[in-house]
Structure 1
Amino acid sequence: MDEHEFMQGRVYGADHEDAGPRPGRSYAQLVGGPLDGLLLDVTGRSAATAVALPTELGAFGPGGRALYGPADPDGRRFTWHGDAP
């Protein structure tokens, strides 16, 4: 299993032993970029809010951020817009 397959369906920022979605929470799928396939917990967040997620997998390595924004009005998918230092 490669890294991409390993990360599919896992929640961004969750502990590796408990990385699946939790009941009663809302999630958006991250599409494209270094965090493709991960789920982002958007519970209580506006569907129009873009995010800068810390990651070691992007173009800037450790300390970098992956930029994602809503791809649809209901906020169920966030697409990658690039990396930032």
Structure 2
Amino acid sequence: MNGDEQLLRGRVYGRDHDDPDPGPLPHHTYAALMGGPLDGLLLDITGWRAEEVGDGAALPTELGQFPGGRSVYEPRPGEPRAPGPGVSCRYYYCGDTR
């Protein structure tokens, strides 16, 4: 695991790496990002409608194939989602886009 990957582990996407507590917040719902440049991060999906959660996300990142581009993550069809706070589902890396 390189230094960038170590900084990302257990952190919520979008929170600063130098935040004293960049981890998940109680009463929030998260998708765990699997694979790709954002592997190990949690994406806060609190308040997202079911259809939005089912669509996945294209997340801006400097760590992907195209600096300044987006890494695309999607749920796998039929994979269960847990209700309520905590990690509700997993999003899997599909590739990068500009």
Q: Taking structure 2 as the reference length, what is the TM-score of the superposition?
A: 0.78
| Deviation at residue 77 of structure 1 after TM alignment | 0.4
Percent identity of the aligned residues? 51
Gaps of 5+ in 2: 82-87
- Whether 2:89 is the aligned partner of 1:82: answer no
1:19 positional shift: 1.2
Structure 1 gaps of 5+ residues are none
Indicate yes or no: 2:32 matched with 1:29. yes
1:67 match: 72
Kindly tell me the number of residue pairs found equivalent between the two proteins.
84
Deviation for aligned residue 1:70: 1.1
Residues 27-81 of structure 1, C-alpha deviation per residue, up to 9 Å, x if partnerless? Answer: 11100111000000011222312110000000011x2000001132315100000
Match of 1:48, SS state, is: helix
Question: Counterparts in 2 of 1:41-60, with a 5 A limit?
Answer: 41-45=44-48, 46=50, 47-60=53-66
Q: CA offset at residue 6 of structure 1?
A: 2.1
Q: Deviation above 2 Å: which 4+ runs of structure 1?
A: none
Please identify the structure whose Cα radius of gyration is greater.
2
Equivalent AA in structure 2 for residue 15 of structure 1: D
Distance 1:65 1:73 in 2: 26
